[in-house]
Structure 1
Amino acid sequence: MKVKTLTADIVILGGGSAGTIAAIKAKEKNPDAKVIIMDKGPIESSGAIGRGMDALNIMASPGYSTPEDVVEALTKVSEGVIDQETAYVLGEKSKDVIKDLEEYTKREPGDLFPTDKDGNYVTNYLHPTDAPLYLAMDGEDIKRGLASRVKKLGVEVLSFTPATKLFTTDGEISGIFGFNIRTGQGYFINTPTVILTAGCVGKFGLPRDGYLSGIYEFPGNTGEGYALAYEAGAEMVNLECFQTNLLMKDYNGPACGYVVYPRGGYGVNAEGNKYWTHGYWSGDMFLAVWKQFQEGKGPIYLKMDHLPQNTINGLEKVLWGTERTTRGKFHLDRSESYHCWDSVEQGLEEITLCSGHSMSGIKVDKDTKTTVPGLFAAGDCASVPHQYLTGAFVFGAIAGQQAVDYAATHKAKPVGVNLEILAEETERPLKLESGLAPSDVEFKLRARISQYLTPPKSDPLMQKMLWWCKRIREQDIPRIKVNDYHDLIKVTEIKSILVCAEMAARASLFRTESRWGLSHFRLSYPARDPKWDRKQVVIKKVGGEMTLEAVEVPAFKWDFPEYLEYEYPKMEFDIGEGYHPPKNDNVDPWLEEKYEREGFEIPRRIVPGGK
């Protein structure tokens, strides 16, 4: 691997929604700044909205809702574990997103987003609050519009070039390293500023169908943002809050309740009865779905057959066009129709870590600053709860503006890294003569994440996950053998997933209560505990060790409800006494005689301090 050395004012890891808007805002503020985007693919189609998007799921629209309404909604769905100031900024600046997207896509008001007769953007009800915060969008072309703007402004884009390591000098960001997965060209970039916009941990648990990339999130989102930030010393928060995805069964794509619920659809169980009061992706709704299956009332379905024909036609356009183009064929092959109440079967198919749809991520403040100087984060890997695409744009824009100001007063410090050794270590899996296929190790790791971490959470199972983390780290990862640079990045992806699994397990064991519905339903502590109100679990690497601490969130500025309307079930299983068989002797002369006569070399592992 040949390594090219570059310098930059800002390096952005991830060219999705947050990354492209960060680059745009940085260059618009300082056209002379050297801005580089590193991405696993081409920025025209990479990231979670590569195909397009159908809504801004959280939005304060004048005439309909206010920034305070956004704070109220997010305080409630986060159950009080929130920095309210970040929620207010999300609501306050959400209207700016609309004008940016209309400009970048060259779309008129009322075309990209719906407007009323007064020119206000029309929001609908979705969240478990009394304010309409959901703004529909016909956004098939927004990613291409963002990519075009990025290139027009002169941002350097390193396509197919993910990063594998962050560098700090004296505790400050000083560099980043990555390589092109097609050519093997390495890049070391000396920079004082990095913005992490690498998305959620989309590949975490294994989907029920077993396909490694058949997931809800963008398959390239494998937790590098989380892992790189942690390894660089940044604080992580809320890793015990899982996103328990309610997906379309067998398709493992979005069931798109957020498209259907605001238009009058809703979820029902196998008896055709509505199973919960609202369709928002908060832990109480997931808990209600879990309850249906425990009571024998599954499968569950997304019901649309009662809607007008024109509404169904519009839903098909969004779900089969803007969302995923294979979805219509999937239904057609099964002879399914939205005119039948049980055509969209759903299930709790996988778990992930995400702030966009949940609240786990890199700890940031309202200015997107992490706890490492020079390191910023935005989008699904940053810690603003339930921020969705709106948050990616709002905080991506802030990150770009803040980072360009930081870079103007900070020069990149020398790193002192031996690039030859770095390249050699990176390429080690290519040089092995034989070993394990990366897909096998990934399957093994993710299958165990699903087996041992999926809520309701069991303490012995989570402890076993930690045992597996150690074993896979020590015995499997060093033996991964790859044949090309495309597969070489999978080694980094597996390491990232592994770090995130350990953080998730340790945080879940550390928070001695249940909270956020199914997202942190811990069987050893099956109720919310007031002592954990307004407290985050902060994870940080100190002296090479993973440390955890309970930290109070910033003081509240608004007094809003901090609990959703649900209670945890009492888990009682009395299955009777059972049959008591007669006991055998503990001595087996036949077995002992065979052992003495035939002999057997018993392999024994040497245990330190043992006999």
Structure 2
Amino acid sequence: MAVHYISADVSIIGGGSAGTIAAIKAKSQNPDAKVIILDKGPIETSGAIGRGMDALNIVAVPGYGTPENVVEALTKVTEGILDQECAYVLGEKSLQVIKDLEEYTNREPGDLFPIDENGNYKASFLHPTEHPLYLAMDGEDIKRALAKRVRDLGVQVLDFTPAVRLLTTDGRVSALLAFNIRTGDFYVINTPTVILTAGAVGKFGLPRDGYLSGLYEFPGNTGEGFAMAYHAGANLINLECFQTNLLMKDYNGPACGYVVIPRGGYGVNALGEKYWTHGYWSGDMFLAVWREFQEGRGPVYLKMDHLPEETIQGLEKILWGTERTSRGLFHIQRDENYRRWDSVEQGMEEITLCSGHSMSGIQINKHTETNVPGLYAAGDCAAVPHQYLTGAFVFGSIAGERAAEFAKTHKAPQLDVDINQLIKEVVRPLELEEGIPVEQVEYKIRSKISQYLTPPKSDPLMNKLLWWTERIRKEDLPRIKVNDYHDLIKVTEVQSIIDCAEMAARASLYRTESRWGLGHYRLAYPQRDPDWDNKWVVLHKDRASGSMTASQQEVPAPQWTFPARLDYEYPALNLSIGTGYKHPPNKVRDPWIEEKVQREGFEIPARFVPGKGGVK
């Protein structure tokens, strides 16, 4: 195990969509800059689009939509809890993303994206608005094309080398600590800027089938971006808004409603009835699915049998090819066919934290800056609500350019930590003689997340999860034993998952209302509260105490007046079940057991005795 000390101008944590385009733009902005990108795997196949992608889910293209239309859509689905400037930038720069992707993949207009008879990119309807903002894409090769451009530009790529610590000096970014999960070599990277593009908290709740890596998101996305930002002093927002995934049952992959719905498919319940007005992944739709199950009309299905045969075959090409190649085999083994209305069963399989499909993440402005000088964020870990892949490219591009400019006039501060001590802390699970497997601790915290946090949210359950996070930190984390460097990174992943669980619970308890449909349906406060309109819950690490603090912050004043809610209401629950039977009372004294205690002897542990250092 060697320790390598290197310097960089721009360091990027995560080689997915936002990370690779950030590297490209940083190097293009300043060809002389030393740019480094780190990832858990090879950047050709890492991240949420490692296999490719089938659409840009939100764009503003001439003839179909404008940046203001994007602001309108996001204002509505976030119920007004957003920075409209970020939404405007998302729409404004989406056309440039389209042009960049055509260039990087060497594809002509009409090949990578569809065009209409007027030569415009042809958008479709998806969002709960009257504007077509969805652009299909034949993008099986885009991730490999991005990776090739990164390497061709001379960016230093550290494959299989995840960052495990983000270091600051006097509140400024100063360095990264990373290690290679194959060789065990450590890297200390002195850098004035870091771009966090580490993705969503994909490994959060446990899927119903119990498989640790059988989930919707990329399995390497375990919340390190959220956790590193938090420990560096950055603000995080909207951690109370959960992404409650409606997935293909048992497969735990995308049900791909976003592929099917723009082409005429829709969701139905077990009676074959369409159960909601739209299929967009906003909280009202998830609440509608929850209602179908509560009222006995589940499961729900993605209906395609009414579509033309040519369309069905096109959907099979996308869903079995670009999305996940194992999906076709799954259907074949179960004798499922898109030409039957009930072939694609869906379920509320898991919860995650994400900005791409939801709202939660690191607080940034339209320049991707956090409140920590030198720290930028983009992609699914940066809280630009419902930005999807388009946002990863838009804000990844901005982050790369801004970080390169910042690095021209700022040098990395001197480190004020003991690197050798940090390395000892990281490798400790390797050096233990005995202990518990890291998978056991991961299963434990993720099963608790599903048990105690899954909406509708219960206050006693969320408080119990906080008790569990502290207990797992104290009792389980120090006992983890691993045998190789590959499993060593899983220890960092578990630590991040625990941090994110605490964030989600504390933010949920702080926001005293329900909002965003099933995303934050809190049983103790089962209605919207106007006092919470236009307000974020901000989480921050208190430097003095080291504790997690929550506060309320006004969102920036809106520049456009658009509807700030969706058409749904929370149900009025009435669960009266009668009075039940009440037997006569028993006596509180039990001479039988008292005699046994006196005769056989029993000493109560001191920690349970008031006045002896125990309970009060």
Shorter-chain-normalised TM-score: which range? over 0.9
Q: Distance in 2 between matches of 1:474 and 1:373?
A: 32
Q: 1:523 — aligned with what?
A: 523
Shift of 1:603: 4.1
Instruction: Please tell me whether residue 452 in structure 1 is matched to residue 457 in structure 2.
Output: no
Q: What is the aligned partner in structure 2 of residue 159 from structure 1?
A: 159
> What code does the residue aligned with 1:295 have?
E
Return the TM-score normalized by structure 1.
0.99
* Residue type at the aligned position of 2:532: W
Distance 1:410 1:572 in 2: 61
Structure 1 residue aligned with 2:202: 202
Give 1:417 deviation, angstroms: 2.9
Q: How big is the shift at 1:461?
A: 0.4
Gaps of 5+ in 2: none
The corresponding residue for 1:610 is 615
Distance 1:467 1:501 in 2: 11
RMSD: 1.0
* Matches of 1:218 and 1:532, distance apart in 2: 33
| TM-score, normalised by the number of residues in structure 2 | 0.98
Give the equivalent residue in structure 2 for 1:436.
Answer: 436
Report the equivalent of 1:363: 363
Deviation sequence 1:267-314 (CA, Å, 0-9, x none): 000010000000000000000000000000001000001111000000
| Equivalent position of 1:107 in the other structure | 107
| Structure 1 residues without counterparts, runs of 5 or longer | none
Alignment partner of 2:607: what SS? coil
- Taking the TM superposition and a 5 Å limit, the aligned residue runs for 1:430-579 are 430-542=430-542, 543=544, 544-579=546-581
2:290 is matched with 290
Picking from 583, 586, 589, the partner of 1:584 is 586
What letter corresponds to residue 104 of structure 2 in structure 1?
Y
Matched, 1:10 2:15: no
Native 8 Å contact 1:116 1:122 kept in 2? yes
Q: Is the 8 A contact 1:514 1:521 kept in 2?
A: yes
Write the mapping of 1:11-410 to structure 2, written as runs, cut at 5 A. Answer: 11-410=11-410
Give 3-state SS (helix, strand or coil) of 1:157's partner: strand
CA distance in 1: counterparts of 2:595 and 2:291, whole angstroms: 54
Contact 1:374 1:403 in 2 (8 A): yes
Please say which of residues 351-360 and 419-428 is displaced more in the overlay: 419-428
Tell me the amino acid that sits aligned with residue 308 of structure 1. P
Task: Output the amino acid matched with 2:370.
Answer: T
Distance in 2 of aligned mates of 1:605 and 1:121: 70
- Residues 540-587 of structure 1: CA distance to partner in whole angstroms, max 9, x if unpaired? 111211111110001110000000010000111110010112332223
CA distance in 2, matches of 1:470, 1:443: 16
Give, in whole Å, the separation in 2 of the partners of 1:444 and 1:419. 31
**Superposed displacement of residue 609, structure 1:** 6.0
Alpha-carbon contact 2:14-2:199 (below 8 Å) kept? yes
Q: CA deviation at 1:422?
A: 1.9
Structure 1 SS opposite 2:552: strand
Q: 1:594 aligns with which of 588, 593, 596?
A: 596
| Counterpart residue identity of residue 549, structure 2 | T
Do 1:3 and 1:423's aligned partners in 2 also have CA atoms closer than 8 Å?
no
What is the alpha-carbon distance in structure 1 between the residues aligned to residue 523 and residue 615 of structure 2?
A: 34
* Structure 1 residue identity aligned to 2:102: E
Shift in Å, 1:107 = 0.8
Identity across matched positions, percent: 72
- The question of whether the paired residues in 2 share the 8 Å contact of 1:112 and 1:139 is answered with yes
In 1: Cα distance, 2:570 partner to 2:200 partner: 28
The Cα of 1:590 is off from its aligned counterpart by 2.7
Matched residue count:
611
Counterpart of 1:385, as a letter, is P
Residue type of the alignment partner of 1:569: P
CA distance in 1, matches of 2:607, 2:516: 42
Counterparts of 2:25 and 2:191 in 1: how far apart (Å)?
A: 18
Q: 2:607·2:614 contact (CA, 8 Å) conserved in 1?
A: no
Q: Is the 8 A contact 2:83 2:556 kept in 1?
A: yes
Q: Contact 1:195–1:376 at 8 Å: present in 2 too?
A: yes
